[in-house]
Amino acid sequence: MDRKKELDMADLPKDPGFKVPEHYFDTLPTRIMQRTAYAAPARSASPVAWFWQFRTAVAGASLGLVFAVSFLATQYFDANPSTDAVMAQISQQDILQYLVNHEELETADLAEVPAVKPNQSLEFLDVRRTDLNETHTQELLEEEYDYR
Amino acid sequence: MEDKEILEKFQHPDSRNLAFNQLVRKYQQKVYWHVRKMVIDHDDADDLTQEVFVKVWTNLENFRKDSQLYTWIYRIATNECLNFLSAKKKRFFLPIHDVAAELTQKLESTDTLSGDEVQLKLQKALLRLPDKQRLVFNMKYFDDLKYEEISEILGTSVGALKASYHIAVKKIEEYLKKD
């Protein structure tokens, strides 16, 4: 069946009649090519590339976290506590036990202890001054004997 | 350049740009007019035409040749038009300001149509049709496509297309008689 007859509109145009800017179809291919073929290739976000980016980001974040924790820790904890403070935390019994077990402890060491706190140290060590003097005299005699 | 040659050249990196340029020059007017008849406004048609060819560029490598190249391009253009009109309709909340009214207003502006009264009447009648019926009418009446080709583009049976076209013609006739 003839379409125009079917429409019963013999004077209907086949051209829709829209206006187009002059030279539009001369410039359109160039604009399309600039958006496609001539455009810089987009960087592909492959799984491998994504993994490396993620790993770098995690490493950076971890480093930042470590610095932050270290900084906070220095604010709350004293890095160089005094000797008295450290010793105060150790029981007298532990100190005594250490001195008893310490094989390399010599009389000279004991002689140096009173220089710091004589009375207190002798009490801690449970050493009598007469015993110390006797030992010291004996050592002097032995040295004299060796010298001869 | 034949479609087959364009597709072969597109597969080679050295001749890819040349092949695509040939494709654009071959189909730009068909795509533009197909889109323009649906969206009426030139600027919208220009944007959509470019979008269509961007999609063609992106997907041409995976084109499986199950269909003709030009029906595949028509299908992309048709989807772009329908998505555009659908998005436009969602922006209107009041029925008085519907898309058909807006497009009719554009038709009447001096820089849209060449000034032929019959052309304006026909376009006004077409805007009263549903989008898919308007598509069928445009492809059959203006583009002279066969029902089989339209069927391939729209994924609708030939029988349904014939019925749709027949209904569209009746509605246009009624509108023109009444007006």
Q: Residue A1 pLDDT more than 50?
A: no
* Token couple for B65: 């040749």
Evaluated on CA atoms B81, B65, B144, B22, the torsion sign reads: positive
Q: Residue A9 pLDDT more than 70?
A: no
pLDDT tens for each residue of B85-107:
988 887 766 554 577 888 888 87
Residues 6+ apart with CB under 8 A from A76: none
* Token couple for B158: 């030939």
pLDDT tens for each residue of A118-143:
555 666 667 777 888 888 888 888 77
At residue A6, the pLDDT reads 45
Q: Which residue of A has its CA nearest to B48?
A: A32
Inspect the interface and report whether the beta carbons of A19 and B42 lie closer than 8 Å: yes
* Token couple for A11: 């004077």
B146 interface with A at CB cutoff 8 Å:
no
Q: What is the DSSP letter of B113?
A: B
Q: What is the dihedral of CA A118, A123, A127, A130, to 10 degrees?
A: 60
pLDDT tens for each residue of A56-91:
788 888 888 888 888 787 776 666 667 777 788 888
Give pTM, 2 decimals.
0.63
CB < 8 Å to B141, chain A:
3, 14
Q: How confident is the model at residue B178 (pLDDT cuts 50, 70, 90)?
A: confident
Q: Which residue of A has its CA nearest to B19?
A: A37
Name the residue among B20, B46, B122 with its Cβ closest to that of A12.
B122
Residues 6+ apart with CB under 8 A from B88: B99, B102
Range from B121-125, B151-155, B164-168 carrying the lowest mean pLDDT: B121-125
CB A131 within 8 Å of CB A119:
no
Inspect the interface and report whether the beta carbons of B50 and A6 lie closer than 8 Å: no
pLDDT tens for each residue of B11-30:
999 999 999 999 999 999 99
Q: Residue A2 pLDDT more than 50?
A: no
At residue A92, the pLDDT reads 79
Q: How far is B88 from chain A (nearest CA, A)?
A: 21
Domain boundaries, chain B: 1-91, 93-179
At residue A120, the pLDDT reads 59
Substitution target from A7, A26, A32, A33 for chain B, most B beta carbons within 10 A:
A32
At residue A68, the pLDDT reads 85
- The CATH number corresponding to B93-179 among 1.10.10.10, 1.10.3720.10, 2.60.120.260, 3.50.50.60 equals 1.10.10.10
Question: What is the ipTM, given to two decimal places?
Answer: 0.86
Interface of A with B in 36-55 (CB under 8 A): 36-38
Q: What is the dihedral of CA B39, B42, B44, B49, to 10 degrees?
A: 90
| Top CATH class, B1-91 | mainly alpha
